[in-house]
Structure 1
Amino acid sequence: MSGVDQQRPGEDQPDGGDDILAAEFALGVLPPEDQAALARRAETDPAFARLVSDWQDRLLPLADGFAPTDPAPSVKQSLDTHLFGTAQARPGIWRSLGLWRGLTAAATAAFLLALALPALSPPTPEVRLVALLAHEGSNVHYMAVYDTDDGEVGLSHLSGNPAAGQDFELWVIQDPQQAPVSLGVIPAGQPAAHLAVDARTRALVEAGAQLAITLEPQGGSATGLPTGDVVAAGDLRGI
């Protein structure tokens, strides 16, 4: 049983416990089984879902303006030497749950707060919708949070990637009798992303509507309609 499954919503946590879990979940640093367990919890625990959404709001702006790239070998060697006192990398160190759980809650909270500080702004009342996107037989899982005030969908990538030369595209279905409407191509290789919803489409993104991800040619569907298989889907719920 994973560490997150042992703590039930509403159960007493150590100082900052749920906030730390929400931050780690938003950063995508937990093992896949713990990420999936917290995604399920966010669907049924409104208070925890709000914490996740708050951390997404704080952390997403930090990625703006930075293109994904692989570090030079010299950079990695320098990091290994600085962190571990040796140039030899320790396999799987960043995937180790023990590394993160070994830090005290206070130290982890201080680190995350320092990371997000430039993006912090005074809190304002907001209405959000959340959906866990998954599909039987598919390894693609996303957590989606829609901010009705800003008109943006925040996406946390939990697992699964498109094949080379293909992209994931996000759709909203309000009425099964009507055609899905594209919300945009999901940036590949990023643990978190956000998609702006245009003014005409916002009326469709509401509680009860379904979000779906399809596998499309690189750059998205050229027809304005889904052309590939549905790899993940879920209903939006209010939090």
Structure 2
Amino acid sequence: MSDLPPVDPPHGEETPDMAAAELALGLLEGEERAAAIRRVLAEPGFARSVERWRDHLAQLFDLWPAVEAPDLFDRIERSLDRAPDAPVAVLTPTPRPPSKLWPALAGVSSLVAAVLLVVLIARPVPVPPAPQPRQSAPVVTAPAPTLVASIDPTEAGSAPATAVFDAQAGAIRVTQAKLVAADRSAELWVIPADGTPHSLGVLRERGSTALTLSPENRARIAAGAVLAVTVEPIGGSPTGLPTGPVVAKGALAPV
């Protein structure tokens, strides 16, 4: 009998759970062992009972007496030195007490297996990074050339005007030029290759004029297209087509 203190059953139980003792001793195998380990993970009371059993059994290491190996070599030498007619001594090994080491080692291995199982279950599974979309090489487009036109008056004595088209801004700027009388408006037109004039807007009476073009008129501004200025009523042509004479014109060319 062991003089160790008995293992108290968990609170609320009249008798100890023998499955906890069997798991601590390493006596369970197969499905019974797996079921006991699941209970360790799911039932805190059962896990504490297993731990108490293991603490209780671990104290047996302090109670194991040291056992010396039998002196077989001396007995063998004595048998070799005996007289020829002396009876042969039968070497009977000293019986060894049953070892308690293996059950203890089994209990320790059970504890290690339970800890590893808890670590594997509790450890979060790393999420593989999402594949990055393949980025295509950026398409590099050459900037559109700047177009310039010298709008020369049809009558001598008037100063020419200069028109500059900014493709990125989609606007055309015309320098100051006195091309019509004060009671009229100077309207700027673009005449593409098809020969049909399209209004770009009315020029200011004083100072330079910046006109923001519609997408359709931007497409019509190209090298070789003609810019023309006509005399129109105040505010521009009421018909959408030139109504007065052309007083200045010039072709667009890249700089």
TM range (shorter): 0.3 to 0.5
| Greater Rg by CA | 2
TM (norm. structure 1) is 0.44
From the two aligned structures, give the one with the greater helix fraction. 1
Which structure has more RCO (C-alpha within 8 Å, separation ≥ 6)? 1
More strand by proportion, 1 or 2? 1
